[in-house]
Structure 1
Amino acid sequence: MARKTKAEAAATREALLDAAEEVFLEKGVARTSLEQIARHAGMTRGAVYWHFKNKADLFQAMLNRVRMPFQELVEEIGDPSLADAPLEAIRLACVSGFARLERPRYRRVHAILIHHCEVFGDIDPLAMQNEMAEESCGALRDYLQSAARLGQLREDLAPEVAAKLLQSMLGGLFHDWLRNHEQLSILEQGNLLVETQLGLFRRQA
């Protein structure tokens, strides 16, 4: 059999991840086997093991396709002037994140992580959620500390408290949206809430 090209191997890997998303969403992670994922993709189980060590490795790869590190969201905006406007950087990064979450893949994978995944083998969904939340809160804290140094944050509001407030609001919005995504636009509602929250944080002239 001819050896696959890198492009063909990459396409196979993506097809397996696509299949995993669909089967995990339907059956739940614990009740899904690698054999079922392979069949759903029209492949053999050997194809799965060629690309992934086990189900936990496949699950992590699926999650990585929708990871949104906060700093990356800021960097993708590509505006160097945001270094002097950390509150605006937060707002724009949140808007970018909301826009991504409205894409079907992002919603599916986060729904799997939150609602269709139990602790199973090396898969610990709570630990994964905590890691993502800690990364986000840490980045928010850094930007809010910068805003305080620049005199843009209310003097009576500690950056650490502001970061927790914003993180809690974003978490609540995220869970409300996952439960009711057909009626709630996370982009529209998120824009309003983040802008309002940052307005309350901002030092008035």
Structure 2
Amino acid sequence: MARKTKAEAAATREALLDAAEDMFIVRGVARTSLDQIARHAGMTRGAVYWHFKNKVDLFHAMLQRVRLPFEDLIQELDDRTVDQQPLEAVRLACLKGFSRLEEPRYRRVHAIVLHHCETFGDIDPLGMQNEMSADTCNALLKYFNMAASLHQLRPCLAPDVAAQIMQAMLAGLFHDWLRNYERYSISREGARLVDTQLALMQHA
């Protein structure tokens, strides 16, 4: 019985997060109330407060479901590829990220952060975007440094510059695609751009 109760509580929490995603993408974060989220989930406001302290707590829980650190994508790859072909590891991690981003939940939540979230209370969307960009750039720098040490990066291209170029391209692609994701597949277009960019950076 205890297990069933725990499972039911987990299902309720997930349903509330799903409802928050639906409401945030339509109304924006600041203009969505906990009452609206509860009603959309078919629950009471009390159910929301049972699982979350406030809207900020709910918002961050929503983000945790779709965290997409670049380093985690790299860790999913074969160790030999990472150690011996760091540029290929960057390419494969980017492709994994594109594929993940096309999943509806990942797409919705990232669209909320980038295009439907205003600054209020303890929620700072610009700060979150800056943090994500810095994390990606730092992870990229690690692998461009490895590529340089293996003489796989163009000698005239500094690893930190390569990391900044790649991060800027990825950020621009994400922002553009999330504004109107039906225009094209980020997996297909992203693969083309990443392949082209890495070919220009690779030591001939």
CA–CA distance in structure 2, aligned partners of residues 37 and 100 of structure 1? 26
Aligned position for 2:45: 45
Q: Which residue of 2 aligns with 1:92?
A: 92
Q: Is the 8 A contact 2:85 2:147 kept in 1?
A: yes
TM-fit CA distance, 1:6: 2.0
Aligned pairs for 1:122-137 within 5 A: 122-137=122-137
Distance 1:6 1:203 in 2: 55
| Number of the residue aligned with 1:154 | 154
* Aligned equivalents of 1:3, 1:138: Cα separation in 2: 42
Distance in 1 (alpha carbons) for counterparts of 2:188 and 2:177 = 11
Q: CA deviation at 1:180?
A: 2.5
Point out 4+ residue stretches in structure 1 off by more than 6 angstroms. Answer: none
Find out whether 1:65 has 2:59 as its counterpart.
no
The Cα shift of 1:7 comes to: 1.5
Aligned to 1:114: 114
Give 1:109's aligned amino acid: V
Q: Secondary structure at the match of 1:178?
A: helix
Provide the secondary structure at the position in 2 that maps to 1:53: coil
1:197 aligned counterpart, secondary structure: helix
CA distance in 2, matches of 1:91, 1:156: 21
Aligned residues: 202
Query: TM-score when scaled to structure 1?
Result: 0.95
Q: CA deviation at 1:144?
A: 0.4
Gaps of 5+ in 1: none
Shift in alpha-carbon separation, 1:3–1:110, aligned structure 2, 3 A: same
What are the residue-to-residue correspondences of 1:1-205 with 2, within 5 Å?
5-77=5-77, 79-82=78-81, 83-204=83-204
Q: Deviations over 1:133-170 (max 9, x none)?
A: 11001000011001111111111100000000001111
- Give the Cα–Cα distance (whole angstroms) in 2 for the partners of residues 4 and 27 of structure 1: 34
TM-score, structure 2 normalization: 0.95
Q: How many angstroms does 1:41 deviate by?
A: 0.7
In the alignment, is the contact (CA less than 8 A) between 2:16 and 2:41 conserved in 1?
yes
- Cα separation, 2, equivalents of 1:159 and 1:29: 38
Contact map agreement 2:115 2:179 (CA 8 A) in 1: no
The separation in 2 between residues aligned to 1:9 and 1:153, in whole angstroms, is 51
CA distance in 2: counterparts of 1:198 and 1:161, whole angstroms:
13
What percentage of residue pairs aligned between the two structures are identical? 68
| Whole-Å separation in 1 of the counterparts to 2:133 and 2:21 | 22
Give the CA RMSD over aligned residues: 1.3
Could you tell me how far apart the structure 1 residues matched to 2:10 and 2:133 are? 30
Paired letter, 1:172: G
